[in-house]
Amino acid sequence: VKSEGPKLVPFFKATCVYFVLWLPSSSPSWVSALIKCLPIFCLWLFLLAHGLGFLLTHPSATRIFAGLVFSALGDAFLIWQDQGYFMHGLLMFAVTHVLYASAFGMRPLALRTGLVMAVLSGLCYALLYPCLSGAFTYLVGIYVALIGFMGWRAVAGLRLVGAAWRWTELAAGSGALLFIISDLTIALSKFCFPVPYARALIMSTYYAAQMFIALSAVESREPVEDYRQSKA
């Protein structure tokens, strides 16, 4: 973890710039889009700092990098969400969650964890459903299913004790849960009711989520069973 910290310094500085400037969301511009996307650009650099060879030989890291690219596009679209680009941003982040879930993989399966995430996703959608109308009734449902699936795959590999413990799995699980909190806050604020300090909550959890997910890419994701054998 200590060796990765210095590579994240640009990310922390860019995040501070966003919160210090705090450009008004009511006046979207390319400058505000750049400031919002800058921390994600720094996470691109964080992964690229490990070398192109690292990305090319680790498919999970490549998918997370691609997810960060689509995240930046989603951030840019959401700057102009009041001008009709919210659905575009929703699509970009849906692709992001598919890429992240693919990076986290399907081993171990962890069906119980999947059941818990399915129930939580259903409760979230039930909370939002009365507030939705038109195409968003279906689009938000699909999005909730995708982010719930991503959360399942991120948490499924988490082992807090024993020889199979790895901090990258903890980072992936933490990042996925923070992403869910951020997106749920967006949905509640946009469709249901004003959430106090919504923007601060959304962006702080979002940037933390992306940082943790990027950190999870720095160690190859071999299946837990294989990892135990290698330890033996």
| Residue 63 within a domain | yes
Q: Residues for the chain: how many in total? A: 232
Mean pLDDT on 115-121: 97
| Residue 112 within a domain | yes
Q: What does the H/E/C string look like for the chain?
A: CCCCHHHHHHHHHHHHHHHHHCCCCCCCCHHHHHHHHHHHHHHHHHHHCCCHHHHHHCHHHHHHHHHHHHHHHHHHHHHCHHHCCHHHHHHHHHHHHHHHHHHHCCCCCCHHHHHHHHHHHHHHHHHHHHHCCCCHHHHHHHHHHHHHHHHHHHHHCCCCCCCCCCHHHHHHHHHHHHHHHHHHHHHHHHHHCCCCCHHHHHHHHHHHHHHHHHHHHHCCCCCHHHHHHHHC
| Residue 85 within a domain | yes
Residue 195 near residue 201, CB atoms below 8 Å: yes
Domain range for 60 is 4-219
Omega of the bond prior to 108 within 30 degrees of 0, cis? yes
pLDDT at 227 over 70: no
Residue 191 near residue 128, CB atoms below 8 Å: yes
| Residue 92 within a domain | yes
pLDDT at 1 over 70: no
| Residue 225 within a domain | no
How many domains does the chain divide into?
A: 1
Token pair, residue 13, equals 């500085």
Mean pLDDT on 41-62: 94
| Residue 230 within a domain | no
Rounded to whole angstroms, the maximal C-alpha distance in the chain is 58
Q: What is the pLDDT of residue 164?
A: 57
- Reported as a single tens digit per residue, the pLDDT across 8-33 is 999 999 999 999 999 998 889 999 99
Mean pLDDT of the chain: 91
- Reported as a single tens digit per residue, the pLDDT across 132-142 is 999 999 999 99
Q: What is the pLDDT of residue 220?
A: 53
Q: What is the pLDDT of residue 166?
A: 77
Residue type at position 224: V
pTM here is 0.92
Residue type at position 126: A
**Of the ranges 56-60, 105-109, 201-205, 216-220, which one carries the lowest mean pLDDT score?**
216-220
Confidence class for position 225, pLDDT limits 50, 70, 90: very low
Token pair, residue 179, equals 């992403």
Q: What is the pLDDT of residue 223?
A: 41
pLDDT at 98 over 70: yes
Q: What is the pLDDT of residue 48?
A: 95
Mean pLDDT on 150-168: 79
- Reported as a single tens digit per residue, the pLDDT across 67-83 is 999 999 999 999 999 99
| Residue 117 within a domain | yes
- Reported as a single tens digit per residue, the pLDDT across 170-202 is 999 999 999 999 999 999 999 999 999 999 999
| Residue 226 within a domain | no
Q: What is the pLDDT of residue 165?
A: 64
